[in-house]
Chains A and B, each alone.
Chain A
Amino acid sequence: MRGNAIHPPSDEELNVYIRTRYQLLGVDISVLPESDPDAPMDQERLLENGRSILRQEVVAADFDIDPQFNLPVPHPAPFVAWTEEVEQ
């Protein structure tokens, strides 16, 4: 059960997190215009997308999957050949 201290982060909190993460990895997004719908990309759209990705983390975390029967497999289709589930 989640404690009372857990609350959904605000947009502003997520923006700080996103900017910090990019900065940590040496990626400078300040070269983009802050908000310019005519530009190929601006900081506003980039942060909006980033917040969406972060909030989807919750969806993934909440997805209940049996870890004993469902191994992570990056290439599922050829895996059926490697595991001899199709005739060679």
Chain B
Amino acid sequence: MAVETTAPAQAPALRLLRMTLNGRPVELEIAPRELLLPVLRDRLGMKGAKLSCDVQVCGACTVLLDGVPVSSCTTLAYEADGKSVETIEGLAHDGRLHPIQAAFIECGAFQCGFCTSGMILSTKALLAETARPTRDEIAAYLSGNICRCTGYWNIITAVEDAAGRLAGDGEEEGA
């Protein structure tokens, strides 16, 4: 898909950005100064990543770039060229929630939900790296994702629960 940008006079030439967004190839022209978060939200309709602190502190804008969590508010869209970008919209498949999403719901790990996309994507990166993290490891990894209403206890519990689901715990009682 190609979306036109109205660029002011003397602006540097637009560049072609080719990336994989939630598993599907996407092509669009971007200005060098465009940040990844507004490109995802305003040009590609992925509203799950939120703008909050705008300085890489809070984690509400977290997306995965080649599987690695980044603050899309302070990442140039240019950096996504040739890479895979994953947002919260890419997690559920065929109407079935991702196990991390299911765990967050079951454990009551969010209230307003503003931080949740970032929490879940950070969790996905953590569990890809460390399949069964301890509560301390979870707290350390998620220390850059700030929640101002639920409190972290249930979130950490949800990550533990998600780790169990991904490892196949309890499958024998299965659904």
Partners in one complex: no
